[in-house]
Amino acid sequence: MTPEHDEPVYENGPSAPEAIPIDDTEGAPTDAISYGTLNMGDGLSQLDPRFIKAERVSWAIFVGILFFGWLAHAVTAFFFYDGSKPILSGYSVAVTGAVVLLMGILGITWPSLDYRHRAYRMTDHGLQIRKGVWWRTVIDVPRSRVQHTDVTQGPLARRYGLGKLVVHTAGTMSATVELEGLAHETALALRDRLTGADDDESV
C-alpha cells in the first residue's frame, strides 16, 4: 500500500489519459513489481510518454539559444567581414548554420529514440535500469545498498507532471543513480518501494 499524494494536473484534464498502474505484475516474473505505463515484458516498464514532449521542449530552448547566437554571428559577418578574420567569413556562417540545423533535427528525433531504449523494473531485490541508444547500459541498484532517495522536479518536469528519482547508494561504483522521465506519482511510489515505506504502512 502506497501513501496518498496530491494528484497532478495534466494538460487535458485532472488525470492522465492513460492510467498508471502502481502494482502491475501481469506478464512479469513472480518476484517483480512493475511501475509504469507500458509493460515491455520480463517485468520491464517504459518511462512516461510525456517524457518525449518535455525533452523536445528542452531541446527547442537549447536550439533557440544556438539559433540566436548564429544569427548574431551572421549579422556580424555580413557587416564587419573584411577578409582578415576567417571566423566571420561566409564559410564560417554556413558551417555554424548547418550545426544549428543538425541540432534542430536531433532535437526532434532523439527524444523518441531515447524513450524507446529506456526501461526499468522494480523487484524485491532492488531497481534495475536499462538505457542507451547506441551503447546499452544496465544498472542494478540493490535495496540493501540504498542510503536515501529523492524525487525532484524542475520547472519543465513540473509542467508535464514528471519527476526524477534520485537514488543515493553505498559501496557501489555509482554513488548516485538517476531515473528521469517518470510520472511524478510513479517516482514517489518507486521511492517508497525502495526505502520500504510502503512495507511499513502495510504492517
pLDDT in tens for each of the 203 residues of the chain? 444 444 444 444 444 334 333 343 343 333 333 344 444 556 789 999 999 999 999 999 999 999 999 999 999 998 888 777 888 888 999 999 999 999 999 999 999 999 999 999 988 889 999 998 888 899 988 888 888 899 999 999 999 999 999 999 886 555 889 999 999 999 999 999 888 766 555 43
- Vertex 157, ends 106 and 45: CA angle to 5°? 80
| Pairing, β 39-41 against β 32-33 | unpaired
Neighbours of 13 (CB within 10 A): 8
Specify whether 40 is located in the same domain as 127: yes
Distance CA 183, CA 158 (A): 10
Query: Which of 93, 114, 135 lies at the terminal end of a domain, its last residue?
Result: 114
Specify whether 42 is located in the same domain as 58: no
| Cα dihedral 76, 80, 81, 82 in deg (nearest 10) | -170
Residues of the domain holding 186: 32-47+118-202
Specify whether 133 is located in the same domain as 37: yes
Specify whether 132 is located in the same domain as 163: yes
Query: Which of 114, 139, 154 lies at the terminal end of a domain, its last residue?
Result: 114
Specify whether 40 is located in the same domain as 88: no
Q: How many domains does the chain have?
A: 2
Specify whether 104 is located in the same domain as 180: no
pTM confidence score? 0.71
Neighbours of 49 (CB within 10 A): 16
